[in-house]
Amino acid sequence: MSNVWIFQSNPKYYDLIRDLGELTRMESGWPIRQQKNKIEKGDLALLWVSGENRGIYATADIISKPKMEKVDFTDSWVNPKRSADGKTEELMVELGPMTILKPPLLESELKQIRELFSLSIMRQHNGTNFPVTESEWDILSKEIEKRTLTKYEEIFTCPEYFTEGKEREIIQTIYERNSKLREMAIKMHGTTCSVCGFNFAKKYGILSEGYIEIHHLVPHSEHKIKGESEINPETDLIPLCSNCHRIIHKPEKMLSIEELKKIVKS
pLDDT of residue 221: 58
High-pLDDT (> 90) share of the chain, %: 26
69 and 27 assigned to the same domain: yes
Task: Tell me: pLDDT of 255 over 80.
Answer: yes
First to last CA, the chain: 24
Number of domains in the chain: 2
Mean pLDDT of all residues in 76-85: 45
Q: How far is CA 85 from CA 9, 15, 90, in A?
A: 19, 21, 12
Looking at residue 71, its amino acid is V
> Does residue 65 contact residue 41 with C-beta atoms inside 8 Å?
yes
- Residue 14 in any domain: the answer is yes
Task: Tell me: pLDDT of 71 over 50.
Answer: yes
On the CB side of 31, how many CA atoms lie within 13 Å of its CA? 19
Domain-terminating residue out of 102, 120, 150: 150
173 and 129 assigned to the same domain: no
Q: What share of the chain is helix, strand, coil (3-state, %, to 5)?
A: 25, 25, 45
> Does residue 116 contact residue 140 with C-beta atoms inside 8 Å?
yes
Domain-terminating residue out of 150, 179, 199: 150
89 and 169 assigned to the same domain: no
Dist. CA 42–CA 65, nearest whole Å: 9
- Residue 155 in any domain: the answer is no
Q: Assign 22 to helix, strand or coil.
A: helix
135 and 190 assigned to the same domain: no
Question: Which CATH number covers residue 138?
Answer: 3.10.590.10
Tell me the pTM: 0.55
Dist. CA 174–CA 171, nearest whole Å: 9
Dist. CA 249–CA 62, nearest whole Å: 10
Dist. CA 49–CA 11, nearest whole Å: 7
118 and 175 assigned to the same domain: no
58 and 131 assigned to the same domain: yes
When the pLDDT of each residue in the chain is averaged and rounded to a whole number, the result is: 79
Band (131; pLDDT cuts 50, 70, 90): very high
Domain-terminating residue out of 101, 124, 150: 150
Dist. CA 91–CA 31, nearest whole Å: 6
pLDDT of residue 157: 37
Residues 6 or more apart in contact with residue 159 via CB below 8 angstroms:
none
| Domain carrying residue 132 | 4-150
pLDDT digits (tens, 9 = 90+) for 157-175: 344 455 666 655 444 443 4
Band (74; pLDDT cuts 50, 70, 90): very low
- Residue count of the chain: 266
pLDDT of residue 224: 47
pLDDT digits (tens, 9 = 90+) for 183-197: 888 888 888 999 999
Dist. CA 54–CA 9, nearest whole Å: 10
- Residue 88 in any domain: the answer is yes
